[in-house]
Amino acid sequence: MKLLDVESPFTSDGRDLAECLGATNEDIKFLESRKNYHESPTQHVVNVFETMKMPLTSLRNIFIDLGRNDIARMLNLEIGS
Protein backbone atom coordinates (compact mmCIF):
# COMPACT_ATOMS: atom_id res chain seq x y z
CA MET A 1 0.00 0.00 0.00
CA LYS A 2 2.87 2.34 0.73
CA LEU A 3 4.00 2.03 -2.87
CA LEU A 4 0.55 2.94 -4.18
CA ASP A 5 -0.26 5.76 -1.78
CA VAL A 6 2.57 7.83 -3.23
CA GLU A 7 1.25 9.99 -6.03
CA SER A 8 3.57 10.33 -8.98
CA PRO A 9 3.05 11.40 -12.57
CA PHE A 10 5.49 8.67 -13.57
CA THR A 11 3.92 5.59 -11.97
CA SER A 12 0.46 4.18 -11.45
CA ASP A 13 -0.97 4.59 -7.98
CA GLY A 14 -4.00 3.52 -5.95
CA ARG A 15 -6.30 5.64 -8.09
CA ASP A 16 -5.30 3.67 -11.17
CA LEU A 17 -5.93 0.41 -9.35
CA ALA A 18 -9.35 1.64 -8.24
CA GLU A 19 -10.17 2.61 -11.81
CA CYS A 20 -9.16 -0.85 -13.08
CA LEU A 21 -11.50 -2.38 -10.50
CA GLY A 22 -14.42 -0.28 -11.77
CA ALA A 23 -14.36 2.77 -9.50
CA THR A 24 -16.02 5.91 -10.77
CA ASN A 25 -14.50 9.41 -10.60
CA GLU A 26 -16.71 10.05 -7.58
CA ASP A 27 -15.37 6.92 -5.88
CA ILE A 28 -11.81 8.04 -6.55
CA LYS A 29 -12.49 11.50 -5.10
CA PHE A 30 -13.81 9.79 -1.95
CA LEU A 31 -10.66 7.67 -1.75
CA GLU A 32 -8.46 10.74 -2.10
CA SER A 33 -10.40 12.44 0.70
CA ARG A 34 -9.38 9.65 3.09
CA LYS A 35 -5.89 11.14 3.21
CA ASN A 36 -7.38 14.01 5.22
CA TYR A 37 -8.12 11.44 7.93
CA HIS A 38 -4.64 9.90 7.71
CA GLU A 39 -6.08 6.78 6.11
CA SER A 40 -4.58 4.87 3.22
CA PRO A 41 -6.73 5.27 0.11
CA THR A 42 -5.16 2.09 -1.21
CA GLN A 43 -6.32 0.18 1.87
CA HIS A 44 -9.91 0.98 0.90
CA VAL A 45 -9.25 -0.27 -2.64
CA VAL A 46 -7.69 -3.47 -1.33
CA ASN A 47 -10.70 -3.99 0.94
CA VAL A 48 -12.99 -3.72 -2.10
CA PHE A 49 -10.76 -6.13 -4.04
CA GLU A 50 -11.05 -8.67 -1.22
CA THR A 51 -14.85 -8.53 -1.36
CA MET A 52 -14.72 -9.23 -5.11
CA LYS A 53 -13.32 -12.71 -4.37
CA MET A 54 -10.87 -12.43 -7.25
CA PRO A 55 -7.64 -14.45 -7.15
CA LEU A 56 -4.36 -12.71 -6.39
CA THR A 57 -3.24 -13.58 -9.90
CA SER A 58 -5.89 -11.17 -11.21
CA LEU A 59 -4.54 -8.41 -9.02
CA ARG A 60 -0.99 -9.21 -10.13
CA ASN A 61 -2.08 -9.02 -13.78
CA ILE A 62 -3.65 -5.61 -13.18
CA PHE A 63 -0.34 -4.36 -11.81
CA ILE A 64 1.51 -5.78 -14.80
CA ASP A 65 -0.92 -3.95 -17.10
CA LEU A 66 -0.34 -0.75 -15.10
CA GLY A 67 3.41 -1.15 -15.51
CA ARG A 68 3.93 -1.74 -11.78
CA ASN A 69 6.20 -4.74 -12.03
CA ASP A 70 7.60 -3.91 -8.59
CA ILE A 71 4.25 -4.70 -7.00
CA ALA A 72 3.63 -7.65 -9.35
CA ARG A 73 6.89 -9.19 -8.13
CA MET A 74 5.75 -8.79 -4.49
CA LEU A 75 2.48 -10.53 -5.31
CA ASN A 76 4.38 -13.33 -7.03
CA LEU A 77 6.00 -14.04 -3.66
CA GLU A 78 2.54 -14.32 -2.07
CA ILE A 79 1.20 -16.42 -4.94
CA GLY A 80 4.22 -18.68 -4.96
CA SER A 81 5.11 -18.29 -8.64
Q: Output the pLDDT for position 9.
A: 65
Residues of the chain with pLDDT under 70: 8-10, 81
14 secondary structure, DSSP code: H
Contact indicator for 42, 5 with CB cutoff of 8 Å: yes
Residue pLDDT, tens place only, 43-54: 888 888 889 988
CA-to-CA separations, 51 to 46, 70, 77, in angstroms, rounded: 9, 24, 22
